Amino acid sequence: NAGVTQTPKFRVLKTGQSMTLLCAQDMNHEYMYWYRQDPGMGLRLIHYSVGEGTTAKGEVPDGYNVSRLKKQNFLLGLESAAPSQTSVYFCASTISNQPQHFGDGTRLSIL
Binding residues (CB under 8 A) for other proteins: these are 4, 31, 35, 40-45, 48, 50, 56, 58, 90, 92, 94, 96-105
27 to each of 24, 67, 95, 100, how far by Cα in Å? Answer: 9, 19, 9, 12
Give the integer Cα–Cα distance in Å for 58 and 43: 11
Cβ closest to other proteins, residue 27 vs residue 56: 56
**Is the distance from CB of 76 to CB of 55 less than 8 angstroms?**
no
CB of 59 to other proteins, least distance (A): 8
Cβ closest to other proteins, residue 17 vs residue 72: 72
CB of 42 to other proteins, least distance (A): 4
Rg (CA), the chain: 13
DSSP-based three-state secondary structure for 85:
helix
Cβ closest to other proteins, residue 19 vs residue 43: 43
CB of 11 to other proteins, least distance (A): 15
